[in-house]
Amino acid sequence: MNGATLPKYGPGDRVRVSSEEPEGHCRTPRYVQGRQGTVRKLHGSFRNPESLAYGGTGLPRQPLYLVEFGQPELWKDYKGAAGDRLWIDLYQHWLEPLNDRRISQ
């Protein structure tokens, strides 16, 4: 088996979403690219949609995370409440570590 990429992040980890736009299809919407969020959950590992979209195998599987963003941080003119959140599923290869909790705490 071609296995899966090992998960690098866990709940509570701060991450930044990559803003390097790949050519072609991806499942990371533009509005979160370059933004900072917090990992809430590891969903498991899934085939990479950027490969599957073009007839590829999608392997190795990529860890998929539930990532939380504060709505007022995503939209500068956000009209809702300060505590509103956006949750979104993002594949690991789109995430960069923002800091290392083991050092900062």
* Residues near other proteins, by CB under 8 A: 27-29, 31, 43, 46, 49, 64, 71, 74-75, 78-91
* H or E element in which residue 64 lies: strand 62-70
Contact 43, 66 (CB under 8 A): yes
CB of 13 to other proteins, least distance (A): 18
Cβ distance to other proteins smaller for residue 10 or 31: 31
Burial of residue 63 (number of CB atoms within 10 Å: 0-12, 13-18, 19+): buried
- Residue 1 CB, shortest distance to other proteins, in Å, is 15
> CB of 93: closest distance to other proteins in angstroms?
13
